[in-house]
Amino acid sequence: MKKAAVLFLLISLLPCLTAWAEGAEEARSIYVGDIVTLRVTARDISSESVKAAFRDFDILEIMQEHDGYRVSIRTFQIGEHTVTLGNRKIVIHVRSVLEDIERDTLFAGEQGLYEPGVSLNLLPFCLSAAGVFTLSLGFIGLDKLKKRKSKTPNPLQLFIKRTAALSAEDDRYCVALTFHFKEYMESQIHRRIIGKTSDEIMAGLQQDASLSPLFARIRAWLHECDRLKFTGVAVTAQDKQLLYEALLSLVCHIDKREAGLS
């Protein structure tokens, strides 16, 4: 295809057109795909009228100027195209480059043979790459899952964190300490004990034989805590500290036994 031809056609649509110009036709020949730029000068014409006139072409650009429009068009359809603007017609003959080649015989291809090129079967490589990618995603997912699990505190860690945050100045210290102990025990025996009395708790623990060596310590701690809570005795900060240390030691032993440690 030849380089894009840019044609500037000055088309006057003013009422003062001379009589010899009325109905006259101008012919311009372009090639398929050439870009044609037309300059339309008229003060009383709208862009919609310009678009309608060139509707058979691909309108690439319409730029408004002080005295009209500059239109860039092209087409890939061979043949004559007539554009009418006001009382002026433009006949554009779209030609093919092949029309300019004078030849009476068929175009013959090259007679030589080409050596076969190297053909690679990329399917095994693609499958291998997909397998490596899948395995990589799996390892990354497992690593993230392990990290997430490692960041999640276990029941013992939660118990230590919550009980350590209690204030010895709180009047309900013993109540809160008992609640966190019951909360921890529920995570170990998987039975509901929050809201039950000490005797009811001990009756429920009888079903767990692994805790039998610690029954006496658990019962003693619960009874001591009940004494401090319900008898109305004055509970000092030292009493609360001793109660906490005894419970912490007891919970650590329970945790070891539940983990299968001696």
* CATH number of the domain where residue 22 is located: 2.60.40
| Residue ending a domain, choose from 98, 120, 147 | 98
Kindly state the tokens that stand for 90. 């433009």
Q: Which residues pair with 25 in a beta bridge?
A: 89
User: 77 pLDDT exceeds 60?
Assistant: yes
Q: What is the pLDDT of residue 110?
A: 61
216 lies in some domain: yes
Candidates 52, 75, 72, 69; CA nearest to 61 is 72
- Is-contact 69 81, C-beta < 8 A? no
| Residue ending a domain, choose from 98, 126, 142 | 98
pTM of the model: 0.43
Which has the higher per-residue pLDDT, 8 or 91? Answer: 91
Q: Which residues pair with 42 in a beta bridge?
A: none
- The secondary structure of 57-118 as a DSSP string is SEEEEEEEETTEEEEEEE----EEEEEEETTEEEEEEEE-GGGG---SSPPP---PPPPPPP
Residue type, 49: S
104 lies in some domain: no
What is the rounded average pLDDT for all residues in the chain? 76
16 lies in some domain: yes
pLDDT confidence of 25, banded at 50, 70, 90? Answer: very low
132 lies in some domain: no
φ/ψ of residue 154, rounded to 5: -85, 170
Q: How far apart are CA 262 and CA 260, in angstroms?
A: 7
Q: How far apart are CA 148 and CA 11, in angstroms?
A: 76
Kindly state the tokens that stand for 67. 């005295």
Which has the higher per-residue pLDDT, 216 or 30? Answer: 216
Model pLDDT for residues 155-198, shown as the tens digit of each residue? 899 999 999 999 888 889 999 999 999 999 888 888 888 888 98
Q: What is the pLDDT of residue 258?
A: 65
Kindly state the tokens that stand for 150. 């490692």
237 lies in some domain: yes
User: 111 pLDDT exceeds 70?
Assistant: no
Q: What is the pLDDT of residue 113?
A: 61
- 165 and 250 fall within a common domain: yes
- 93 and 186 fall within a common domain: no
- 91 and 183 fall within a common domain: no
Quote the number of domains for the chain: 2
128 lies in some domain: no
| Residue ending a domain, choose from 98, 129, 146 | 98
150 lies in some domain: no
Number of helices (H) and strands (E) in the chain: give both, helices first: 7, 7
211 lies in some domain: yes
User: 22 pLDDT exceeds 60?
Assistant: no
User: 206 pLDDT exceeds 50?
Assistant: yes
- 89 and 171 fall within a common domain: no
Q: Which domain holds residue 90?
A: 10-98
Q: What is the pLDDT of residue 116?
A: 63
